Structure 1
Amino acid sequence: MKLLITGANGLLATNTIKHFLELGHEVKGLLRSKEKFLLPPHKNMELVQGDITAVSAVEYAVNGCDAVVHIAALTAPNLPNYNSYYKVNVAGSENLVKAAIKHKLKKFIYVSSANTTGFGTLENPGTETTPLKPPFTASLYAKSKLEAQDKLFTYADKIDIVTVNPTFMLGPYDGKPSSGEIILMGYRKKIIFYPPGGKNFVDVRDVALGISAALEKGKNRETYLLAGENLSYQEFFTKMVQRSETKTRLIKVPKPLLLVAGYAGDFLRKLNLKTSVASANMKILCVKNYYSGKKAEEELGVHFHPIDQAIDDAIAWFQKNGKL
């Protein structure tokens, strides 16, 4: 099978490309800059430079492929308005599915986000049927991913559309870095300030396996949460301390302080200034947004590992590449 994988420079796409090449598939990677690609050349891999917001680039990219794994997205938390997210995450995704239908591709795997579904507690974690709720209803990124997901499903009578919704991914090949920034923040630091909430952490390689399983077994119009281990931020950063030779002090940042900072960020956004500090983002740091990957385990056969190995491998990769 020949696969188009978008966002090929990213943490998830790089690991997904590596996985499919190891399985013997052909891969065409769509990316904006070939120079930033982290994997070595491979006889079954072709890199195509382009942008999903450009119809001509998308048309060229899908040609000759059997299926699409759409990972590319605008994830920056600092943009002040919705238009930028819409252009890439919604309109860009629609460009891609229209091209896939035109070229008669068989399947379209859309990598959405766990934040398009409602979170739960440690005892009753969120599932695919849990309705979205605050503070994620105010997240521009989450809003765009949910809108894209709903938009793509309107084409499910013309091509099989399967959505996978990973939580917070960690692992090797995080070149930007993206989510791995949390490891750089906590490893070998003398003081770590952590928020009162928590989240679900998942090994990026388990997500790649989930994508592969969704391509093989995923049902049309279905959504699958790819969720690993639920941890408070205190528990996560304690893992960082255990891996460091540095004597570290953990200090919890009070919720009221985060909210004050968030409202100040809202004011800056009204001035059209870029900042990742916003009330929605600060409120998200204060809740324990926990999820369950049970449906993916039962229907796709995916097994989710504890996050420890992903942390170790991410640290090793950052060290090897001079980021730690």
Structure 2
Amino acid sequence: MTVLVTGISGLLGNNLVFLLLEKGYYVKGVARNISNLPFGAHPRLMLIQSELTADLSAHLKDTDCVMHVAALTQQNILRYDEYHRVNHTATALLAEGAIAAGVPQFIYVSTANTIGYGVQQEDLKLPEDQPMRKPFTHSFYARSKAAAEDYLLQQTQKIKVHIANPTFMIGPYDKKPSSGAIILMGMRRRLLFYPPGGKNFVAVKDVAAGIEKMVHHGENGRRYLLAGNDNLSYRDFFKLLKSYTGQKQRMIAIPSLLLQLAGYVGDLLRFFNVKTSLCTNNMRILRIKNYYNNTTSVRELGLQYRDISHAIPESVTYFKKHFPR
């Protein structure tokens, strides 16, 4: 099969391309900048340097599946319109191009935060059709991804659509870094301040495997939570990370009130058009436990998840090599 993958320079895109090539796919990889990618020359890999909003119709010909990974994920953007333009409008343009070119299948990588979460173990039987919950209903990023999902799920009569909803991904080849910033934080700080909340952690290689399995086993119009086996508080995550880094470290909980005050400061800065990830809503997200389960993807895709204890050392090894002090 021939697949077109966007966002191949990021954490998930890197790992997905490696997996697809390993499994024998022909890959057309799209990124804004194709220099310094880790793949090397490969006879089944075509690299395409392009903006996401550019016309990709020539590359959509003779393509069996589009895997749309690229997105605007930064948390310091001040206006919803910027997220909407990349995460919704560019997605819609790509889907329209795929439909026009006769591509049979479109896999969209969204986020677990468009699906209602649980906060205790007994809450984790929430199915994928649970509505998004606060505070993510006020997140520009999550709202723009939900808008793209809604658009794509209206196109299922024209093209086969699957939605991948990964939780917080950990693993190698995170060269920006993106989610790996939490690994660097735990690796380098002797005094570590952590928020009171928690989240579901998943190995990025398992997310890549789930996307590949959707090609053959995904149901049209279905959302799949790609969630790991580990729902952890930030405290427990950093304790686990510490066991692999050997970092001598003192961990101190950040009081909720202090996070709330930081959010107010961020709101003020944003009012004066200062880009910052600080805002009241982002601070609320750090104070909640947004936990998920992976029952659907295990049952319907046959996906087997590794514990996050396997992904953490891979990530630590990568960062030690590529991000020395």
Q: TM-score, normalised by structure 2?
A: 0.97
Q: 1:186 is matched by which residue type in structure 2?
A: G
CA contact (8 A) 1:188 1:245 kept: no
Please give the per-residue CA displacement for 1:75-109, whole angstroms capped at 9, x wherever unaligned. 00000101110110000000110010011011000
The Cα shift of 1:281 comes to 0.5
State the match for 1:165 in structure 2: 165
Mapping 1:258-297, distance limit 5 Å:
258-297=259-298
The ranges of structure 1 where at least 4 consecutive aligned residues each deviate by more than 3 angstroms after the TM superposition are none
State the match for 2:239 in structure 1: 238
Aligned mates of 1:267, 1:60 — CA distance in 2: 46
State the match for 2:10 in structure 1: 10
Aligned mates of 1:190, 1:149 — CA distance in 2: 41
Tell me whether 1:318 sits opposite 2:310 in the alignment: no
Question: SS of 1:34's equivalent?
Answer: coil
Aligned mates of 1:247, 1:181 — CA distance in 2: 19
State the match for 2:195 in structure 1: 195
The Cα shift of 1:188 comes to 4.2
Question: SS of 2:3's equivalent?
Answer: strand
State the match for 2:142 in structure 1: 142
Aligned mates of 1:269, 1:60 — CA distance in 2: 41
CA RMSD of aligned residues (A): 1.1
Q: 1:215 is matched by which residue type in structure 2?
A: V
CA contact (8 A) 1:187 1:241 kept: yes
Q: TM-score, normalised by structure 1?
A: 0.97
State the match for 1:95 in structure 2: 93
State the match for 1:305 in structure 2: 306
Question: SS of 1:212's equivalent?
Answer: helix
The Cα shift of 1:155 comes to 1.2
Is 308-317 or 261-270 further displaced after alignment? 261-270
Is 216-225 or 119-128 further displaced after alignment? 119-128
1:67 counterpart (65, 68, 71): 65
Q: 2:187 is matched by which residue type in structure 1?
A: Y
Please give the per-residue CA displacement for 1:195-216, whole angstroms capped at 9, x wherever unaligned. 0000000000000110011111
Aligned mates of 1:172, 1:109 — CA distance in 2: 23
Distance 1:323 1:90, change over 3 A: farther
Q: 2:110 is matched by which residue type in structure 1?
A: S
Aligned mates of 1:240, 1:217 — CA distance in 2: 34
Tell me whether 1:78 sits opposite 2:76 in the alignment: yes
Q: 1:67 is matched by which residue type in structure 2?
A: C
Please give the per-residue CA displacement for 1:218-237, whole angstroms capped at 9, x wherever unaligned. 01110000000110000000
Structure 2 alignment gaps of length 5 or more? none
Question: SS of 2:274's equivalent?
Answer: coil
State the match for 1:22 in structure 2: 22
Q: 1:211 is matched by which residue type in structure 2?
A: I
CA contact (8 A) 1:3 1:68 kept: yes
Question: SS of 1:35's equivalent?
Answer: coil
State the match for 2:104 in structure 1: 106
CA contact (8 A) 1:188 1:241 kept: no
Q: 1:33 is matched by which residue type in structure 2?
A: N
Distance 1:66 1:323, change over 3 A: farther
* Identical columns (%): 44
CA contact (8 A) 2:225 2:296 kept: yes
Question: SS of 2:174's equivalent?
Answer: coil
Aligned mates of 1:78, 1:127 — CA distance in 2: 30
Question: SS of 1:36's equivalent?
Answer: coil
Q: 1:50 is matched by which residue type in structure 2?
A: S
CA contact (8 A) 2:32 2:52 kept: no
Is 165-174 or 235-244 further displaced after alignment? 235-244
